[in-house]
Chain A
Amino acid sequence: MKIDLEKKGDPRVFARINDKARIDASNLHYRELNAMVKEAASEGVKTMEIHNVFGQRYIGSGVRQPVHIDIYGVPGNDLGAFMDGPTIITHRNAQDGVGNTMNSGTIVVNGRAGDIVAMGMRGGQIFIRESVGYRAAIHMKEYFKHKPVLIIGGTTQDFLGEYMAGGVVVVLGLTKGEKEVKHQARHIGTGMHGGAIYLRGEVDDRNLGKGVSKVPLDEKDRDVLRDCVEGYVSYFGGDADEILSSHFTKLAALSHRPYGGLYAY
């Protein structure tokens, strides 16, 4: 397939009015699409609508301007990887690797996301309306002012928060329609050594990885939760107070150095 990075000149593909742009991504290779997005952002476009997206990867990667991108269709893997600033709203499901190593900005997924959401994420916010796949928030971390937040409306599959070193994960379990949720993911927080996971409802101890424990929520936790849930509700609707009135379980690491005693000498 021939890559043509000059397609932006084609008005059927790229249209701009003032600081708004509209892109038709059908038949665009990801390199063509992303080159267009970056160029438009550097030329002062503030909001973009991308239509007919089917699997194009890395959308939002390498964009430093705080642009707003609406995606219609299913974006490909590594949506917003290494992203630093933009806001991305996808209006359908997303694939694997949403927000991979993201530094700042916002990603909103109006649907479900695949595996390794927020892998190695260091800052910014990700809101997922429904559930996510395996290994969400794997090795999420925080650093000074950077504190990543991942809010999941549904549930997760196994290995949630594996190696997690910082940041906040909230799993609301709303999609099951039950008042109280019992989370079924296994190996939650295995190897976790920082940050916090808040689960609405309960989880069995046997579903937790080594090194993680349930801890009671304090006022500070309630504040964090309120911010997160209000953010979620602002994108997807719902009653924040009602959600917050449910029982929440907090998971935190037992130690910042879980393997201190591992070695013989």
Chain B
Amino acid sequence: MLRQHQIRDDKDFSGCSIFGMINLEGKKVDGAPIIKAIANMKERSNGLGGGFAAYGIYPELSDLYAFHMMFDDERARVETEEFMCASFYMEKAEIIPTRPHRGVSDPPLLWRYFLLPREELLDGEAEDDFVVRAVMHINERIEGAFVFSSGKNMGVFKGVGYPEDIARFFLLDEYEAYTWVGHGRFPTNTQGWWGGAHPFNILDWSVVHNGEISSYGINVRYLEMYGYKCTLHTDTEVIAYAVDLLVRRHRLSIEDMSKVLAAPLWEEIDRMPPEERKIHTALRQTYSSLLMNGPFSIIISNNYQMIGLTDRIRLRPLVAGTRGNMVYISSEEAPMHLVDDSIEHTWIPQGGVPIVAELKKKKIVEEPPEMELLREEALP
């Protein structure tokens, strides 16, 4: 069913609502606030997709890759598990707990696995690269199986339905996370399918997205040269892979990555001081095929960061707000106030300039660690 549902259009496009919240101290909250926030933007979605990413939810298994899986049938599960056992140590396998909920129908089989690559197979390859290849293999080669989350100590929960219904279906009120990102979807075709909901994830990178990427065709062809298989036909998947390539593999900073996805105009580059001009010219020359052209606002998250970004001429909305150690990013302003009525400061970011909220220590220990405040330059 997963494969059958793969869209026969060039790609699947949708309008959407996005919302993200991070506690810079790593303090965890349950899913209630984000459910409230995303439900407040119901007008922006149409019940054909909703989803969440939650960070810090598997503290006791935080060293293992948590694979969240959708299967069409038992055969796909057996085949996937055979592949997993051949490539990974499997610490734990279980059905993802759900409760039946009105408004959520026809779920696929939902399983999660806690995995570690077999050392003898790594042969010098980085663990993360090995995991990416495994994800690509399952998604491309195993009929009816789809990895929808593959990071450590985090998980994506998504499906067809309004986001608040999906949240209840997955019992998200029972999980605690320091970063929550949510998405409500408004696909323009009627074939809403579970894998097509946001967030899209690879390793601990998750992306939620509002808008449509007009450059999708070339973005995909470029990523294919680097081994990414864009099996889902959505521009959001492409953003997730682009971020993985640029930041994890090519080690660009978040700012430089933003300048690839939302490149400054040539006339602005031409006015920069020499060294900066050199860098930005090279970035645009080298990564021109990864410019995300067209309207988008996105929230990109990983285990220690939450990043908001819009296209370079800001054709989709994004607002941000802070109070104390909380940073919010949202499609609309009202839900931030709804979640936190004493929110202190809200602002609209400049197109193409990222809002970066990050924890000081990359690895969250369960003791509240010391955190760094939001980077100043994003604040007006």
Contacts and interface: CB of A to CB of B under 8 A. Distances in A.
Interface string A100-130: 0000000000001011000000000000000
B42 A1 contact: yes
Contacts of B40: 54-55
A112 B337 CA distance: 14
A158 B41 contact: no
Given A93-B346, A157-B348, A157-B350, A115 B317 contact: yes
Contact of B351 (A30, A94, A95, A158): A158
Most buried by B among A55, A75, A77, A96: A55
A75 B337 CA distance: 11
Contact of A54 (B313, B319, B338, B346): B338
Given A115-B314, A158-B313, A158-B314, A55 B348 contact: no
Interface string B307-349: 0000001100101000000000000111101100000001110
A55 B346 contact: no
A136 to B, nearest CB: 11
A30 B332 CA distance: 15
Nearest to B41: A55
Nearest to B162: A1
Main secondary structure of the interface of B (DSSP, over half): mixed
Nearest to A187: B313
B43 interface: yes
Contacts of A114: 317, 319, 333, 348
A115 B41 CA distance: 17
Given A96-B317, A157-B314, A74 B333 contact: yes
Contacts of A96: 317, 332
Contacts of B313: 134, 158-159
Contact-residue size bin, chain B (C-beta under 8 Å from the other chain): 20 to 34
Contact of B43 (A57, A94, A112, A159): A57
A148 interface: no
A73 interface: yes
Contact of A74 (B41, B271, B337): B337
A73 B350 CA distance: 25
A54 B337 contact: yes
B42 A73 contact: no
B151 to A, nearest CB: 31
Contacts of A74: 333-334, 337
Contact of A73 (B319, B337, B348): B337
Interface string A48-66: 0000011101000000000
A76 B334 contact: yes
Interface in B242-294: 271
Contacts of A95: 332-334
Contacts of A55: 40-41, 332-335, 338
Contacts of B350: 157-158
Nearest to A176: B380
A92 interface: yes
A92 B337 contact: yes
Residue of A1, A74, A96, A157 ringed by the most chain B CB atoms within 10 A: A74
Contacts of B319: 114
B326 to A, nearest CB: 17
A92 B334 CA distance: 10
B263 to A, nearest CB: 15
A17 B346 CA distance: 36
B161 to A, nearest CB: 13
Interface in B201-218: none
A54 B335 contact: yes
A75 to B, nearest CB: 8
Interface in A191-216: 206
Interface in A1-58: 1, 30, 53-55, 57
B337 A133 contact: no
A134 B346 CA distance: 15
A133 B332 CA distance: 12
17 contacts: A30-B43, A54-B337, A55-B41, A57-B43, A77-B332, A92-B337, A95-B334, A96-B317, A114-B317, A114-B348, A115-B317, A115-B348, A133-B317, A134-B314, A157-B348, A158-B313, A159-B313
Given A57-B43, A77-B332, 18 more contacts: A54-B335, A55-B333, A55-B334, A55-B338, A73-B337, A74-B333, A92-B337, A93-B346, A95-B334, A96-B317, A112-B346, A114-B317, A114-B348, A115-B314, A134-B348, A157-B314, A157-B350, A158-B350
Interface of A: 1, 30, 53-55, 57, 73-77, 92-96, 112, 114-115, 133-134, 157-159, 206
Interface of B: 40-43, 271, 313-314, 317, 319, 332-335, 337-338, 346-348, 350-351
